[in-house]
Chains A and B, each alone.
Chain A
């Protein structure tokens, strides 16, 4: 319990003793080394298809989501109503009260996905790809529901249940067990590969990106200061929770984060209602931009790539992380958690991301050329020019601030809390991958947790470009292995789906609510 104040004092002492110049050069050094080390990995994941500028990984995700959608007969639409009933608890056995409910598994998974992806990620997509990126983001969200359904069903079906009642699940478990069940070779190797990428994903998107954007928000309000200071403070708090077991911090976050989410959506709704006369125009921009690009860098393809990339980064469909979170649910029917999980991309991407995109579009932060009606590019020609030259969280903040002047302060708090809750979620996902590789045990777990905290400092100190590239690359690398395995395992899910659907139709599966 004394650890946190001691660390805080150490941070303050370091902050006052180090000169600002030394600190900035330390940030630059961290950034340079980090960019050099991760460069080749990032290039491989985002390599374009031969003769095009289209990254192969984006096609990989879209094709998979489309195949799952067709293979499962548009499960995301057919079982949407049933998914809502499951979340409401209509099919939950009262004798199982006190176990993890469908709602809780969904809320936990959502707290890992709803966050900076919805605030900063959407701004990045719209800033580079224009409003048209939103159309592709919504499409990716709708298709991604089927990917999520597939992986989360398997996550519950093949989880490990230990004698003490605790559970561990996720792609590493369903890949190794599922391949063995089907008599396929290579399951163990794929599971190991997934775990390695999951650890990198946890350190990248689940950690460094969060720390980086949290620092950007805090320094935007209190003035510029070295990122490593934010990093050390964040690392100290995360360390206190995941190593020190200080539940009070996690408990406060659990309560406040959903409230922040509601506040964020509420504020977006208020802005949209106040500007309701512009909603039609904004959707017009979204549709026109989706197919013409409206002058953005890369045109229609640029909008499409940004939309799909940021949707995948935000809702993580096909990535496999949600399967780890959903696997803790209490149910006799693994497929039910699949149904519930398909609501995740809907809430995260189709609803929340779209609201952010609409607010940014309506706010007028994106500068339009009055003569052509197209968007103007910034000096580098890499993104749309914005009022005040903002990007990422800064753009979202400015967009909300143009309608509700005090909202940037609330958003800053929300970003910090979202970043924190996402870090806590991903520390768990990374830990599960780590223990799959190195075994469960106190020293093994502590090693990962310490590495996780070190990366928070690196993430806060590095600049956005290299961090966002590595974060994306690491998360998408998980999807490479996960989706490859899902193609082999999807027939197991269809068997479950057919069995459940027929029992539901025959009345064998009954609602407990009368």
Chain B
């Protein structure tokens, strides 16, 4: 059974740093699979209009397709090219909760994420996804600067 590492991407340069570190770890471990995860921030408790609800399934499919095409698949291609096994997962939800839940389900050794690129009021008030993950994760977390 190869070891598994969950790599959290955010579609920005910081996510790239997390991926690069994950690849380095995978090389050191040897038999290792990377599970590349992109979480689309979403809450089941948000408010929407009736029209948005009627179109929601379609929008969801579009969001997943866009995340796969723009973020996850290019990352998988890069990892595979380096001779490392990789899989992609795109999910909606709270970033920290979802990364943790996927890691538990995959029986991953650890989660690798980059320091959040969020800033300003939201970060001060709610904390970043990364800090929420570090505070609440039940799987070891590596945060790349």
List A residues at the B interface (Cβ < 8 Å): 89, 92, 94, 97-105, 107-108, 111-112, 164-168, 250, 254-255, 257-258, 324-325, 328-330, 424-425, 428-429
Contact of B58 among A102, A111, A165 (CB under 8 A): A165
- Contact between chains at B53 and A100 (CB < 8 Å): yes
Q: Which of B7-15, B43-51, B108-116 contacts A (4 or more CB under 8 A)?
A: B43-51
Q: How many residues of B contact A (CB 8 A)?
A: 25
In the docked arrangement, what's the CA distance between A345 and B47, Å? 19
- Contact between chains at A328 and B47 (CB < 8 Å): no
Would A428 and B44 be within 8 Å (CB), given that A98-B60, A99-B56 are in contact?
Answer: no
In the docked arrangement, what's the CA distance between A324 and B49, Å? 12
> Is B145 at the interface (CB under 8 A from chain A)?
no
0/1 per residue, B42-73, Cβ < 8 Å to A? 10111111110111111011011000000000
> Which A residues lie within 8 Å of B57 (CB)?
99-100, 165-167, 330
Closest CB in chain A relative to B90 CB, distance in Å: 9
Contact of B47 among A99, A111, A166, A167 (CB under 8 A): A111
> Which B residues lie within 8 Å of A164 (CB)?
58
- Contact between chains at A250 and B49 (CB < 8 Å): yes
What 4 pairs between A and B have smallest CB-CB spacing?
A98-B92, A101-B44, A328-B53, A165-B58
> Is B101 at the interface (CB under 8 A from chain A)?
yes
Q: Which of A89, A254, A258 has the most CB of B within 10 A?
A: A254
Would A425 and B47 be within 8 Å (CB), given that A97-B42, A167-B57 are in contact?
Answer: no
- Contact between chains at B50 and A166 (CB < 8 Å): no
- Contact between chains at A258 and B47 (CB < 8 Å): yes
> Is B87 at the interface (CB under 8 A from chain A)?
no
Closest CB in chain B relative to A170 CB, distance in Å: 10
> Which B residues lie within 8 Å of A324 (CB)?
50
Closest CB in chain B relative to A502 CB, distance in Å: 27
Closest CB in chain B relative to A449 CB, distance in Å: 12
> Is B137 at the interface (CB under 8 A from chain A)?
no
Closest CB in chain B relative to A504 CB, distance in Å: 21
> Which A residues lie within 8 Å of B44 (CB)?
89, 92, 97, 101-104
Closest CB in chain A relative to B38 CB, distance in Å: 12
- Contact between chains at B45 and A424 (CB < 8 Å): no
Q: List 13 A-B contacts (CB under 8 A).
A: A89-B44, A92-B44, A97-B91, A97-B98, A98-B60, A98-B91, A98-B92, A100-B56, A165-B57, A167-B54, A254-B49, A258-B47, A328-B53
Q: Which of A99, A111, A164 has the most CB of B within 10 A?
A: A99
> Is B139 at the interface (CB under 8 A from chain A)?
no
- Contact between chains at A104 and B47 (CB < 8 Å): yes
In the docked arrangement, what's the CA distance between A92 and B53, Å? 17
Contact of A100 among B45, B48, B61, B91 (CB under 8 A): B48
- Contact between chains at A425 and B49 (CB < 8 Å): yes
A-B contacts besides A166-B55, A167-B54, 9 pairs, CB < 8 Å: A92-B44, A98-B56, A98-B93, A100-B48, A103-B44, A104-B46, A108-B50, A165-B60, A429-B50
> Is B134 at the interface (CB under 8 A from chain A)?
no
> Which A residues lie within 8 Å of B63 (CB)?
98
- Contact between chains at A165 and B50 (CB < 8 Å): no
In the docked arrangement, what's the CA distance between A429 and B49, Å? 11
In the docked arrangement, what's the CA distance between A94 and B101, Å? 10
- Contact between chains at B50 and A168 (CB < 8 Å): no
Closest B residue to A109 by CB, please name it.
Answer: B50
- Contact between chains at B47 and A428 (CB < 8 Å): no
- Contact between chains at B50 and A99 (CB < 8 Å): no
